[in-house]
Amino acid sequence: MKKDIHPDYHMIKVQMTDGTVFETRSTWGKEGDTLQLDIDPTSHPAWTGGRGTMLDSGGRVAQFNKRFGGLTLKK
């Protein structure tokens, strides 16, 4: 292993959105820093099963049909 090319690997604290804190090793920050999460498995819809507010109301086909659904080809 080459010397002086690897980042410092040290203990930090991670604070979840519900206030719980755990310690882990990381290259983020400095020894003893606290990383505060904005999104984590206790609050993110992908893990909780809830619907996010930023989801589209329909796919591309649904949007097309909503916009051009009333048009017909008449001869």
Of 21, 27, 22, the residue nearest 9 (C-alpha): 27
The pLDDT of residue 56 is above 70:
no
The values of phi and psi at residue 63, to 5°, are -65, -40
The pLDDT of residue 68 is above 90:
no
Which amino acid, 55? L
* Euclidean distance between CA atoms 25 and 7, whole angstroms: 12
DSSP, collapsed to helix, strand or coil, labels residue 66 as helix
Domain boundaries, the chain: 1-40
Q: Write out pLDDT tens, residues 28-45.
A: 999 999 999 988 888 877
> The whole model's pTM is what?
0.56
- 8 Å CB contact between 37 and 28: no
